[in-house]
A and B are shown apart, each in its own frame.
Chain A
Amino acid sequence: MTDILKIDDATIPKFPKHVKFRYNKARDEWVILAPERLVKLDPIAVEILKMVNGEREVKSISLELSKKFNAPEDTIISDVKEMLQNLSDKGFIEENG
């Protein structure tokens, strides 16, 4: 693992190899899976994480979400950063590069 990540506008987030963002058909829900860990997600987190692909920057993800949900970009970008930072601190998100 790398050093502690600080999520900013230019960060390109991705899931570490041992972390899976997966849809559970029987339960009809998206979850994060890692060794002995299961993270349940709210609908907003799911929308954000669906765009995490190791290619897109935080800013670009936020812009699209702000258009999609017709919400102010400033609010969205700060929400996205907060959520990804939280997941990164727990080892569920890392930076591509």
Chain B
Amino acid sequence: MDDIKNNNLKNASEHGIQAPLALLAELSHRCPLQCPYCSNPVQLEKKTGELTTDEWKSVIDQAVEMGMHQIHLSGGEPTVRHDLEDIVEHCSKEGLYTNLITSGVLLNPDRLKKLESLGLEHVQLSFQDTDHENADRIGGFKGGHAKKLEVAKWVRDVELPLTCNCVVHRQNIDNLENFIQMALDLDAERVEIAQVQYYGWALKNRAAFIPTPEQLDHATEIVEKARIDLKGKLVIDYVIPDYYAKHPKNCMGGWGRRFLNMNPKGDVLPCHAAETISHLKFDNVREKSLKWIWENSEAFNMYRGTDWMPDPCKSCDRKEIDWGGCRCQAMALTGDAKNTDPACSISPMHNEIFSMAAEEARRAPPEFIYRKYGVRFNSPI
């Protein structure tokens, strides 16, 4: 089913890139929560377009044959799929390290027990705040936080390892110490403290979420202290908003170098936000093999390596460290995905965007635009 490559770009092998390490599988965009910083695209995929159980199983087989190590079953909310059990069982049988990334609110003890017995190896449970009322407001789901605390206990009851995924921003950052304490109280192995990253839904809601530099510095101090105090007890992963960083993040370890993402209908993407780069054409596992796509897909080859880079990236000695930062962020904020990520302090756009964001952070936060199907936007960001 695979034809020869359809462009003149260098492919993965010609870049010396090996098979990807992990697959982020967005099983569905459906989700009972409406977090306004959701990482899904603004145009959400409907249930009717989703890959079938057998199609996912074939993808899993292909991922294993390619040598991938891990699969993250994500969404939307992956537990909306009634075949999650089949998918988990298949991943485990084939030897992939199987991780479930969930809001938890649709789970019950029996289902968790079943998933564990079928080979699920790790659960990442999202939290919106430690304050019930505010958490439920951010997620747009009444009773959500209380349910999540229950789910965390069920996860530990079946002895599944737990990571608390905590997305922090100006409307919950004052509870950072409480987030860490919550992870300890829930007997989690690991906590992810991730500041909102501003793409898609989150970019629409940036003014509601962006912290001031002072709030961010304070948060970083808390995390650094907790990392020392809790060494060997709790692993803390910390992601700062890159607007306030000196260097951009090396997004996905470089475009098309280490990971791939699949959306619910089977499009294969270099990252979960790649659809925001509207001129990219993505290949689909219904038409091509995963291996062919990784190797040859134009969407992957377009920004692989360093040949595509303009200055200041091209002449920068960090070009193979940062890989130009994030293509999606460059697209969203400069209108051209090839430009240096404006998060980089040497981007000509950095100061303008940084000061705009810092100004937003000083004003009162606007109302949220909640994530749901069919929202229309007028403004360009």
Question: Contact residues of A with B, CB < 8 Å?
Answer: 1-5, 16-18, 20, 22, 24-27, 31, 33-36, 38, 88-89, 91
Contact = CB atoms under 8 A, between A and B. Distances in A.
Contacts of B237: 36
A33 B70 contact: yes
Given A18-B189, A20-B121, A38-B69, A27 B19 contact: yes
A21 to B, nearest CB: 11
A16 B121 CA distance: 11
13 contacts: A1-B232, A2-B232, A16-B189, A17-B161, A24-B67, A24-B69, A25-B95, A33-B70, A35-B122, A35-B161, A35-B190, A88-B232, A91-B189
Contacts of B121: 18, 20
A30 to B, nearest CB: 11
B303 to A, nearest CB: 23
Contacts of A24: 67, 69, 95
Contacts of A1: 189, 232-234
B95 A22 contact: yes
B161 A16 contact: yes
Contacts of B70: 33, 38
Given A4-B232, A24-B67, 15 more contacts: A1-B189, A16-B189, A18-B121, A18-B161, A20-B97, A22-B97, A24-B95, A26-B19, A26-B67, A27-B19, A35-B99, A35-B161, A35-B190, A38-B69, A91-B190
A17 B64 CA distance: 22
Interface residues of B, number: 27
Given A18-B121, A22-B95, A36-B237, A5 B19 contact: no
A33 B69 contact: yes
Contacts of B21: 38
B65 interface: yes
A17 B97 contact: no
A5 B341 CA distance: 42
B301 interface: no
Interface string B66-107: 110110000000000000000000000001010100000000
Interface in B186-208: 189-190
Interface string B325-359: 00000000000000000000000000000000000
Interface string B167-180: 00000000000000
A46 to B, nearest CB: 15
Contact of B97 (A5, A27, A33, A91): A33
A88 B121 CA distance: 20
A18 to B, nearest CB: 3
Contacts of A89: 231-232
A26 B161 contact: no
- A1, A17, A18, A22 — most chain B CB neighbours (10 Å): A18
Contact of A35 (B19, B67, B163, B233): B163
